[in-house]
A and B are shown apart, each in its own frame.
Chain A
């Protein structure tokens, strides 16, 4: 085929309205209008809010409802635990969305969604109407699935620190207060959970801190999975090479009981573990509002979506993006993927509001860096294209992959990745 598609489109006059001079920026803008409400301002929600404004040239009204006053990034938060970054480094204002992009910010929590009336109800009692709703609630923890664990315990003593914020600060304090010779136990749930390599990165960063400050201490990784679920070879090597005698990995550790008074966890197989810092990351499901709104229709935990539009398979005009979605094959629950899904959703929503068909060939990709110490990092990457036959995203064979080894150069890229994705999401 010798004729390039764009040239053909120009010949055919399809893009005549936009024309060659005005370029891409104005192409989507023609006569799109409507009101979109976004619930949740994490990587997914903030990105969709920004891109809906950007790609409509401000012609679509976007309201973002978020309960937290600032965005706090889970990526890089393990470096706060190790004392190598501060909370300020991972805390970002929502002002950019409001001031630069004209997103209307509403501080609050959504208590109900009325898909018939196209309205969300806030805990404050207010209602907000929408033409299209985007639900980006992230994950909630299934505390009750671990015998002996409660929400209260998980927020005060047996921390998860799996949502960056006050828990990150609290777990850092637990690590600082721990005696030399203490045991830090990190309990990992079965996949799928938010950020598959995250717990292993945490083990590295905590071990790095202990190695330099409390060298007689240990990090026990108690993994409910059959094996390390991400970057296995790379993590196993660094635990053996750099953290020998500090990090110990145990697989298939299903928690059968937890005694908060003694900081002890019991498993169906293997010895109970008494830890000085007990970090239990509970199993997860789509965030609370997804359940309240009846959007959970996969395994009683996740929200099924049409991958061309990210529209819920349970409710019309309601889109679900980010960690709350029932994942396509080999699609990780990551901030990067949430940011990517948000753009597919933004593109589709603008077309739907304009009464046009949606992009039939969406692409998303994932990049996830993990630090092995404050300087060295590794990555895993994948590219996912839409498979029309199977109506889902599939990874492109031959693309993506892992680092060969941890390097300082990738440590620098990991930091640059964070800065750029924060800006792409919020600035």
Chain B
């Protein structure tokens, strides 16, 4: 247990370097890049898939399926590849919290 806590502390220290550099609104800003097509905060006005209030894991899975080519798409397979796994998680988390 002590060893695990120590390991946790070490990894916290390691992650704090990036965390300190990250803007607290990073998820919001990333999600805003989706909003041009999917609507402000994911609230589509029609013809595009709404993302607001969607389950986080569902969004992550879907984007990853576009990324891998498992899910056919006209454009999302190309766009999904522009985002890292971490960015996708942030975006999915953000949209999942929108009502």
Are B47 and A365 touching (Cβ within 8 A)? Answer: no
* Contact for B75 among A6, A55, A398, A413, CB less than 8 A: A413
Residues of B close to A15: CB separation below 8 A: 24
A365 to B97: give the CA distance in the assembly, Å.
23
Is residue B30 within 8 Å, beta carbon to beta carbon, of the partner chain? yes
Are A363 and B33 touching (Cβ within 8 A)? Answer: yes
Closest A residue, CB atoms, query B22: A5
Within 8 A of A (CB), among B16-37: 16, 18-19, 21-30, 32-33, 35-37
* Contact for A27 among B18, B24, B32, B93, CB less than 8 A: B24
Closest A residue, CB atoms, query B76: A381
Are B28 and A420 touching (Cβ within 8 A)? Answer: no
Are B36 and A24 touching (Cβ within 8 A)? Answer: no
* Contact for B36 among A11, A400, A420, CB less than 8 A: A420
Is residue A4 within 8 Å, beta carbon to beta carbon, of the partner chain? yes
Residues of A close to B89: CB separation below 8 A: 4
Residues of B close to A279: CB separation below 8 A: none
Are B78 and A54 touching (Cβ within 8 A)? Answer: no
A379 to B11: give the CA distance in the assembly, Å.
43
Are A359 and B23 touching (Cβ within 8 A)? Answer: yes
* Contact for A358 among B23, B44, B74, B87, CB less than 8 A: B23
Are A340 and B39 touching (Cβ within 8 A)? Answer: no
Closest A residue, CB atoms, query B29: A347
Chain A proximity of B19: nearest CB distance (Å): 6
Chain B proximity of A84: nearest CB distance (Å): 17
Within 8 A of A (CB), among B72-99: 74-75, 78-83, 86-87, 89-90, 93-94, 97-98
Interface size on B, residues (CB 8 A): 47
Are A28 and B25 touching (Cβ within 8 A)? Answer: yes
A423 to B79: give the CA distance in the assembly, Å.
21
Residues of B close to A361: CB separation below 8 A: 22-23, 26
Is residue B64 within 8 Å, beta carbon to beta carbon, of the partner chain? no
Are B47 and A28 touching (Cβ within 8 A)? Answer: no
Is residue A150 within 8 Å, beta carbon to beta carbon, of the partner chain? no
A326 to B86: give the CA distance in the assembly, Å.
30
Are B83 and A383 touching (Cβ within 8 A)? Answer: yes
Chain A proximity of B72: nearest CB distance (Å): 11
A409 to B14: give the CA distance in the assembly, Å.
47
Closest B residue, CB atoms, query A2: B11
Are A8 and B36 touching (Cβ within 8 A)? Answer: no
Chain A 352-375 against B: per-residue CB contact (8 Å), 1 yes, 0 no? 000001111111110100000000
Residues of B close to A424: CB separation below 8 A: 35-36, 39-40
Are A415 and B47 touching (Cβ within 8 A)? Answer: yes
- Assuming the A-B contacts A360-B21, A412-B47, are A423 and B40 also in contact, with contact meaning beta carbons closer than 8 angstroms in the complex? yes
Closest B residue, CB atoms, query A20: B97
Within 8 A of B (CB), among A1-53: 1-6, 8-9, 11-12, 14-15, 18, 23-24, 27-28, 50-51
Residues of B close to A417: CB separation below 8 A: 36-37, 47-48
Chain B proximity of A314: nearest CB distance (Å): 25
Residues of A close to B79: CB separation below 8 A: 365, 367, 381, 383, 399-400
Is residue A421 within 8 Å, beta carbon to beta carbon, of the partner chain? yes
A382 to B28: give the CA distance in the assembly, Å.
20
Is residue A294 within 8 Å, beta carbon to beta carbon, of the partner chain? no
Are A399 and B45 touching (Cβ within 8 A)? Answer: no
Is residue A403 within 8 Å, beta carbon to beta carbon, of the partner chain? yes
- Assuming the A-B contacts A3-B15, A8-B16, A340-B33, are A27 and B28 also in contact, with contact meaning beta carbons closer than 8 angstroms in the complex? yes
Are B74 and A420 touching (Cβ within 8 A)? Answer: no
- Assuming the A-B contacts A381-B75, A383-B79, A420-B39, are A362 and B47 also in contact, with contact meaning beta carbons closer than 8 angstroms in the complex? no
Are B12 and A8 touching (Cβ within 8 A)? Answer: yes
Closest B residue, CB atoms, query A379: B75
Chain A proximity of B70: nearest CB distance (Å): 17
Binding site for A on B (CB under 8 A): 8, 11-12, 14-16, 18-19, 21-30, 32-33, 35-40, 44-48, 74-75, 78-83, 86-87, 89-90, 93-94, 97-98
15 contacts between A and B (CB under 8 A): A4-B89, A8-B16, A9-B19, A11-B12, A14-B24, A24-B25, A24-B97, A340-B33, A347-B23, A347-B25, A363-B29, A385-B82, A416-B46, A416-B47, A417-B36
Given contact pairs A6-B27, A365-B33, A399-B81, enumerate 10 new A-B contacts (beta carbons under 8 Å).
Answer: A9-B19, A14-B24, A27-B25, A351-B23, A363-B29, A365-B36, A367-B79, A382-B82, A399-B79, A400-B79
